[in-house]
């Protein structure tokens, strides 16, 4: 072979090598962008996780907290649908309502960034997820469903789903479907994924497998006061509470545990045992999901954010109905709620509960886990965050050129990207946080918290000195109240499009009752265990 032919063959070979190297270098680096899993519990209390002071067994989430970050000042909107609306759009809920139709939501935005999108679990917004940017959906459309028997609004994508036999339990089903979703991929494009894992647990109905309930049966015979005190002591040891922080007074609308009859204590112990079993079962599913990610080689570069959509449900409006039917907490066909006593323990160390805009209603014990991205692990990041910040942060993470400019270019996100916080950089919130549901509302800055419950008038707290909102300063700081109220009203008018604030009364709503813990809230009367049912658990 002549020297010329050898030269030409070598030149051709080198050209092909460099050509394909160039193609590889210019190939989209989608696989290098992190996968993102947003896990939302439903009505979970601030202190229910072990890493936030709880006695419930939550090893998977506790391990993620230790290997990631705890975000103890993550705020929600105090109510399921409001939190989800803001979380998925990056907008304050009065602007987008329940439909999230007027702005781009997280799934639509992530699809444009080349992500595969999935929703598993509860939707609770208008329309259907597959019409809102989600490639995959398994779950139910409404606010709650039977854990064992499902409901007519279950869907697998847009097809009706009714396979609730063979030991169906929705928490397990959601965990299994999430594992399937993260395990599937398009091998040609190597798309990263965004998964919104929206558990119903521990939202009512309080239902769990009996064997799980019995592991906790008797644990709560000590009562909600002792449970709360134990959690607060653990929170002090974990650095969540400074030992000198003033603690809220005992609620005036909650009876003392020792005043209850043995039958009342028995039913209350069962009520909380079911709740605890539900939380542990969810944690077990999350642990299986994390194990699956590891087996797929996707655990290192997946950001997982865990939070609750609001605080614990303090109501128990259906007790008498189901006791008359011979059904107890945990039973198939029942629909019990946690009640005020256990809500008081679950939101430790904070005040008030779901629908309230006080800390117990709007603070969530959040966790962020991302082995390749979080630089300072096992620490507390105490900056003020809100669910409205989730979308800007996720888009920032997905290499959005400008995380403050939504895809439709007509609005500015209300939320702020806290990606620098995850990366160990300095970050502080620039703007106040706003809250409203029915006749409960609030505005919070770094120093001040202006809050109202049940239209009882403004309460003002210096949260730098009094983070648990115990010492009301409103009467001695009228100018500060007026200043913050003006800010809140400007926000309300801008976001809602309404000139005046005319709240719906909790007193007039059959699903809710006044919650005020300083004399204005409805007194909680615990139900008693019927002697005919006492041997069921």
Residue 323 has a pLDDT of 97
Is a pLDDT exceeding 60 seen at residue 460? yes
The DSSP call for residue 475 is G
pLDDT the model gives residue 24: 35
Average the pLDDT over each of 85-99, 230-244, 469-483 and give the range with the smallest value.
85-99
What is the mean predicted confidence (pLDDT) over 376-386?
Answer: 95
Higher pLDDT, 176 or 407: 176
Which pLDDT score, from 0 to 100, does residue 99 have?
75
Residue-wise pLDDT for 279-333, tens only, equals 999 999 999 999 999 999 999 999 999 999 999 999 999 999 999 999 999 999 9
CA torsion angle for 353, 358, 359, 360 (degrees, to 10)?
A: -10
Looking at per-residue confidence, does 409 or 326 come out higher? Answer: 326
Q: What is the mean pLDDT of residues 227-233?
A: 98
Task: Give 312's DSSP letter.
Answer: -
pLDDT of residue 145: 97
CB 336 within 8 A of CB 322: yes
Higher pLDDT, residue 409 or 210: 210
Distance, in Å, from the CA atom of 341 to the CA atom of 271, rounded to the nearest integer, reads: 10
* Percent of the chain whose predicted confidence (pLDDT) is above 90: 86
Alpha-carbon span 461 to 265, nearest angstrom: 35
Mean pLDDT of 411-417: 85
The reported pLDDT for the residue numbered 510 is: 84
The CB-side HSE value for 44 (13 A sphere, CA atoms) comes to 32
pLDDT value of residue 215: 98
Give tens-digit pLDDT for 330-354.
999 999 999 999 999 999 999 999 9
The pLDDT value recorded for residue 12 is: 42
- For the chain, what is the mean pLDDT? 91
Q: Given this model, what pLDDT does residue 189 score?
A: 55
What is the chain's Cα-based Rg? Answer: 25
Task: Supply the pLDDT for residue 22.
Answer: 39
Look at the alpha carbons of 351, 125, 293, 397 in this order and tell me if their dihedral is positive or negative. Answer: negative
pTM (2 d.p.): 0.92
What is the rounded distance in angstroms from the CA atom of residue 379 to the CA atom of residue 390? 20
The answer to whether residue 58 scores a pLDDT higher than 70 is: yes
Q: CA nearest 397: which of 433, 414, 421, 362? A: 421
pLDDT for 145-194, tens place per residue?
999 999 999 999 999 999 998 899 999 999 999 999 999 865 445 789 99
Contact (Cβ atoms closer than 8 angstroms) between residue 287 and residue 60: yes
Lowest mean pLDDT segment, chosen from 23-32, 71-80, 101-110? 23-32
């Amino acid at each position: 072979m002549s020297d010329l032919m050898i030269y030409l063959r070598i030149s051709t070979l080198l050209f092909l090598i460099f050509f394909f190297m160039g193609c590889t270098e210019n190939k989209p680096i989608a696989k290098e962008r992190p996968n993102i899993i947003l896990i939302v519990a439903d009505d979970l209390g601030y202190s229910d996780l072990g890493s936030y002071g709880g006695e419930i067994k939550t090893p998977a989430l506790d391990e993620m907290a230790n290997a990631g970050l705890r975000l103890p000042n993550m705020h929600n909107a105090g109510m399921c649908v409001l939190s989800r609306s803001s979380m998925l759009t990056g907008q304050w809920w009065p602007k987008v309502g329940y439909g999230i139709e007027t702005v781009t939501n997280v799934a639509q935005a992530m699809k444009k960034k080349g992500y595969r999108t999935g929703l598993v679990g509860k939707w609770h917004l208008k329309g259907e997820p597959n019409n809102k940017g989600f490639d995959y959906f398994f779950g139910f459309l409404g606010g709650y469903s039977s854990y064992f028997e499902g409901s007519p609004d279950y869907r697998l994508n847009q097809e009706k789903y009714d396979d609730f036999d063979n030991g169906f339990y929705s928490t397990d089903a959601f965990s299994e479907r999430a594992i399937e979703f993260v395990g599937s991929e398009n091998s040609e494009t190597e798309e990263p994924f965004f998964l919104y894992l929206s558990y119903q647990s521990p939202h009512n109905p309080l239902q769990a497998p009996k064997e799980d309930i019995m592991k906790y049966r008797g644990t709560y015979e000590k009562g909600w006061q002792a449970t709360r005190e134990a959690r607060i002591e653990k929170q002090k040891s974990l650095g969540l509470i400074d030992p000198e922080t003033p603690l809220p007074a005992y609620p005036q609308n909650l009876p003392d545990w020792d005043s209850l009859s043995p039958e009342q204590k028995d039913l209350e112990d069962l009520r909380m045992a079911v709740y605890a079993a539900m939380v542990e079962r969810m944690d077990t599913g999350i642990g299986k999901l994390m194990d699956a990610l590891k087996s797929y080689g996707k655990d290192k570069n997946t950001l997982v954010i865990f939070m609750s959509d609001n605080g614990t449900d303090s109501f128990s409006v259906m007790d008498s109905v189901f006791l008359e039917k011979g059904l107890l907490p945990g039973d198939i066909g029942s629909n019990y709620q946690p009640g005020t006593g256990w809500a008081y323990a679950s939101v430790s160390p904070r005040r008030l509960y779901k629908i309230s805009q006080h800390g117990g209603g709007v603070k969530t014990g959040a966790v962020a886990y991302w082995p390749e991205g979080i630089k300072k692990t096992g620490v507390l990041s105490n900056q003020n965050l809100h669910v409205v910040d989730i979308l800007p942060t996720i888009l920032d993470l997905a290499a959005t050129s400008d995380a403050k400019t939504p895809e439709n270019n007509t609005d500015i996100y209300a939320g702020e990207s806290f990606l620098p916080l995850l990366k160990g950089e300095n970050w502080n919130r620039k703007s106040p946080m706003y809250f409203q549901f029915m006749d409960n509302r609030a505005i919070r800055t770094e120093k001040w918290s202006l809050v109202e419950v049940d239209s009882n008038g403004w309460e003002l707290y210096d949260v730098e000195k009094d983070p648990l909102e115990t010492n009301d300063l409103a009467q001695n700081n009228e100018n500060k109240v007026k200043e913050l109220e003006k800010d809140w009203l400007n926000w309300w008018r801008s976001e809602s499009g309404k000139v005046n604030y005319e709240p719906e009364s909790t007193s007039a709503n059959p699903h809710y009752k006044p919650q005020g813990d300083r004399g204005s809230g409805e007194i909680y009367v615990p139900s008693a265990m019927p002697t005919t049912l006492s041997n069921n658990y």
